Amino acid sequence: MPFPFTLPTTSSVLLSDFFESATHPSLPLAATTKRSVLKDALKKHKRLTPRDQAAHLPAIQSAIVGYIPYLLALNAASGFGDVGIERVDLGVKNPLEVEWRSTLSATLPGREPPRPRLTGLHHETAFILSTLAYTYSLLARSQLRMLHEAVTLSNEQRTTAISTAMKHLLEANSIHKYLLSLPTVSAAKDAPPDIQPSTISAMASIALAEATLIVVSKDDPYAAAVSDDRNESNRDWMFKAPSIPKVRAHLFARICLAAADHAGQAQGLLGPGRIDADLVKYTADLQKTARGKAARFLAIDAELSGKTGEGLAWLQGARKELGLAFEVKDGQRKGLKGLKQSWQERREDKRIEKGGERGMDAGKLEETRVVEMLEAKWDKENSTINVQIVPPCEPLLASMPSGREYHSPQPYLPPQLDAGTLALMRAPPGPEERAFRGDEEDSGDEGYAGKRSEPVGAFPGSSHEYGRSGTSQSYY
């Protein structure tokens, strides 16, 4: 399950205060209108409930895609470049100053993320394209959520949801890679943590790791069997046993190892203390889940070859890769560590039932349940039928094969202004023509669901007493 990014919000800006064009005087006003539509959409999105936010994502995507051609036209013209085949003369009256909510930065609990004032079009471009990439990741998340929330899904519906999510994640990866190719973005020294080159590169690796891991999820019958077994609405067990077809286990293991490599690269790029702790932990769990899946598929490959003892050793290695320190005997967790793990899983299940975000552990809990199901089944068979020796898992883990890439992401091609639209901007704006500034208030305090966030330690309902006055920039 992809990470649940929080989309940033931004301040209101009149671009004609910073840019003027002798050849296309309507361009700054038209760009301001498109940007204001996006600003309103982002602020409205933040006030929605989590369930309504998923349905609102296409509106965010449409608003960003509508603004990008005008932003890139301003960016190209300010650097004395051509917009398409047409020359645009653009003058910079003042450096662009804009505020963006830094949602990936590490903040104190209970505090809103900072909203720094940024100077330059390159920061605006970085935040706009990063927000579009986060939107694609959230669209992929909404597709995969259907696999967990829907009561019954046909094989065609399941395949369509997974394929659509994979396409969205690859698009997010391409956008991040495109951002890194922009010299003004990759060389920026004063950028906040959200749009620093190391963070953008990490986001590209995370998106590619998630898209790679989805490949095996499409044809992984074991995870689906565990999900059906835990689904109280499922009644298939009454008239048929779960069908577990043979899988290309060794190939799936190598694909999972490639995903683990990408997650490891992202983990090395996200410095602790700089980036949100939930994202850093998710990246570490993503690598553990990918390596745990790889060990589990190698166990399946060994078991299909009649090597049940070696398969059990691989499952022990999978538990080691997942970071599970408890012992399992006769299908039951033993010791205080096993008791603690069971308690954490029950707490996670209750949190999800109450509407909490699913997949914050990158699927580690689901993979743990699959490994335990196979270990209990094979251990029982090995004790009664095969009676094979279970070798130690450490030498097996050291002999893991190399990862195999599955995807070949295509480069991102941003939308451009067509010649007809650009030609219409040669006409000067009328005396009464003004840019749309948006319907949302331009406030730095954007509380969830329309409520102003309470300061830390404040009595509930007294947040108005802690606001800034009109003449002072201090809270006190």
pLDDT digits (tens, 9 = 90+) for 52-108: 999 999 999 999 999 999 999 898 888 767 777 778 888 888 889 999 999 998 887
The domain tally of the chain equals 3
Q: Are residues 178 and 299 in the same domain?
A: no
Mean local confidence (pLDDT), 122-127: 93
Domain final position from 383, 407, 431:
407
In a domain, 204, yes or no: no
Q: Are residues 149 and 239 in the same domain?
A: no
Nearest to 263 by CA among 209, 338, 306, 199: 209
Domain final position from 407, 430, 453:
407
Q: Are residues 399 and 449 in the same domain?
A: no
- pLDDT per position as a tens digit, 144-187: 887 766 556 677 888 888 899 999 999 999 999 999 998 888 87
Query: What are the strands, taking DSSP E only, across 81-122?
Result: 82-83, 86-87, 90-92, 97-99, 117-119
**So what's the pLDDT on residue 473?**
38
Domain final position from 385, 407, 429:
407
**So what's the pLDDT on residue 341?**
57
**So what's the pLDDT on residue 241?**
43
In a domain, 328, yes or no: yes
Least confident window among 76-80, 124-128, 138-142, 266-270? 76-80
Whole-angstrom distance, CA of residue 67 vs CA of residue 102: 20
Rounded to two decimals, what is the model's pTM? 0.85
Q: Are residues 189 and 239 in the same domain?
A: no
> Per-residue confidence at 434, pLDDT binned at 50, 70, 90?
low
103 close to 193: Cβ distance less than 8 angstroms? no
Q: Are residues 13 and 154 in the same domain?
A: yes
In a domain, 382, yes or no: yes
Between residues 381 and 225, which one has the greater pLDDT? Answer: 381
In a domain, 203, yes or no: no
**Domain region containing 235:** 216-407
**So what's the pLDDT on residue 91?**
86
**So what's the pLDDT on residue 235?**
45
- pLDDT per position as a tens digit, 381-433: 888 877 788 899 999 999 999 999 999 989 999 999 888 888 888 888 766 66
Whole-angstrom distance, CA of residue 391 vs CA of residue 395: 9
Whole-angstrom distance, CA of residue 316 vs CA of residue 396: 10
Q: Are residues 283 and 234 in the same domain?
A: yes
Q: What is the DSSP string of 199-214?
A: HHHHHHHHHHHHHHHH
Residue 257 contacts by C-beta under 8 Å, 6 or more apart in sequence?
A: 290, 291, 294, 400, 401, 402, 403, 404
Mean local confidence (pLDDT), 223-246: 52
Q: Are residues 9 and 90 in the same domain?
A: yes
Q: Are residues 250 and 396 in the same domain?
A: yes
Q: Are residues 473 and 431 in the same domain?
A: no
In a domain, 207, yes or no: no
Q: What is the mean pLDDT of the chain?
A: 81
In a domain, 202, yes or no: no
38 close to 437: Cβ distance less than 8 angstroms? no
Q: Are residues 144 and 233 in the same domain?
A: no
In a domain, 208, yes or no: no
Q: Are residues 94 and 129 in the same domain?
A: yes
In a domain, 211, yes or no: no
Q: Are residues 329 and 385 in the same domain?
A: yes
Between residues 475 and 199, which one has the greater pLDDT? Answer: 199
Nearest to 139 by CA among 161, 113, 106: 161
